[in-house]
A and B are shown apart, each in its own frame.
Chain A
């Protein structure tokens, strides 16, 4: 049977695509015109972008977003790699308990996690009530399920036992073999998992708004505060943030595709 494209199918796809693209495209056009009071906007300008980039406050908030998204990703990835080292080589029985711990965050998404963390730690003495510390911890939990699954699938695709045994025969310790042979082989999987986790945290608004609020202005918070002041500046910020996310997620997909191609070849 030959597949031929029906007109109806194309119309449905076009309608869905149009609905999805419309708000996005509009936000972009809104950011490059000074006036929009009829069907077509007037007064093309890039001044809103120039304004944003000359505003130190925005650049700082963007840097804050990048750092606060990156640090938890690194901490979480290293912790999970260590866990995988232990459960694949020493105590496989433990895997199911670790898996449960890694799936709980699905049920305590966003607002619940933030509520739990502040209820527990706000007003506590010392570093425990430090908002940045709490934010990093909460962020680790948000990405935990995704990092665990991503890394576990990556390590599952390798024949770890075999590699480690071969290394041991050659006089290499398990620890050394794991970190100098297995992990480098997981490189692509690790990078793409980390990037996925990064984009999730980069887009976060609820947890940072509840835990840190205006005391730690990320790009999301900055955008929220700008919204009531200038529409065009806000849409320019949205475009910049969106393009940043898009670049990272496109790179992630490229890396993942290469990985599967490589996997199929071998």
Chain B
């Protein structure tokens, strides 16, 4: 217990607030989710009944399926649009590119409940485009049903585009003009250039972007909740329903659902890492 030793360790106090917060609101809740998912409802004792229920009940199977489906599709379509956008912006003049980037930056803030509302006045039952469709006999506008999983997909694609394009823009800066010229000298056309040179070299970054977008839509809640309330089979909605709302609440079951969602999240990160390694592995 000598004094200088005590004094020299005093700096460790600096870690205290951080560890306190991380322990109380990250480690403990996380550990608790794992423990409670295997606990009987309202009591103690080990059980697998929650997971059995999740994987055998139609509603929860559908929720997992829908969550994966909407996340994969919105991420994929988002990437395709972002690819075209970033490619066009990269080829455009600096002035146009700056304006485009500003639009992306501004609209990337538009998500959640406000986004759902904007789509309601655009394409809802009495939405403006819906009315125009009805008045002028444009079938696909008049009959568009926003309050379905396809309608939800459209709103998800909306919030994926700015994020995806902002992530893809810097990647395109890495493509060298010499490559295109080299392909030309070797007798290739722009098809060869894009599919044999450019896209393979962009692939690791595209996969990274895909992973970010996937997680982004898997965790999205506000838009779906504002649009469809609890009337949709989607993982985040089913989880929150176990804690708020009029249905009988079941905390342990909510934890089990959360654990499933977390597993999907981690799985997507691991798969992307693996694919990224394979995509870069061949060349480096």
Interface positions of A (Cβ within 8 A of B)? 1, 3, 5-6, 8-10, 12-13, 16-17, 19-24, 26-27, 30, 36-39, 75-76, 78-80, 82-83, 85-86, 89-90, 94, 98, 101, 104-120, 122, 137-138, 140-141, 144, 175, 199, 203, 205-206, 209-210, 213, 220, 223-224, 227, 231, 234-235, 238, 241-242, 245-246, 249, 253
Let me know if B21 and A79 touch, CB within 8 A.
Answer: yes
Known: A26-B128, A27-B118, A82-B15. A120 touches B28 (CB 8 A): yes
Let me know if B255 and A13 touch, CB within 8 A.
Answer: no
Let me know if B103 and A17 touch, CB within 8 A.
Answer: yes
Minimal Cβ-Cβ distance residue in A for B95: A5
Chain A residues, Cβ within 8 Å of B96: 5, 10, 13
- A8 CB, nearest partner CB in chain B, Å: 7
Let me know if A140 and B106 touch, CB within 8 A.
Answer: no
Let me know if B26 and A105 touch, CB within 8 A.
Answer: yes
- A206 CB, nearest partner CB in chain B, Å: 4
Let me know if A20 and B161 touch, CB within 8 A.
Answer: yes
Let me know if A83 and B117 touch, CB within 8 A.
Answer: no
Task: Report whether over half of chain B's contact residues are helix, strand or loop; otherwise say mixed.
Answer: helix
Query: 18 more A-B contacts (CB under 8 A) besides A26-B121, A27-B121?
Result: A12-B85, A24-B106, A24-B107, A26-B128, A36-B128, A85-B14, A109-B219, A110-B221, A112-B33, A112-B258, A112-B265, A138-B25, A203-B109, A206-B222, A206-B225, A235-B117, A235-B118, A246-B106
B269 within 8 A of A: yes
Chain B residues, Cβ within 8 Å of A246: 106, 109
Let me know if A78 and B89 touch, CB within 8 A.
Answer: no
Chain A residues, Cβ within 8 Å of B93: 3, 5
Minimal Cβ-Cβ distance residue in A for B162: A20
- A121 CB, nearest partner CB in chain B, Å: 8
- A34 CB, nearest partner CB in chain B, Å: 14
Let me know if A141 and B17 touch, CB within 8 A.
Answer: no
Let me know if A242 and B243 touch, CB within 8 A.
Answer: no
Chain B residues, Cβ within 8 Å of A113: 25, 29
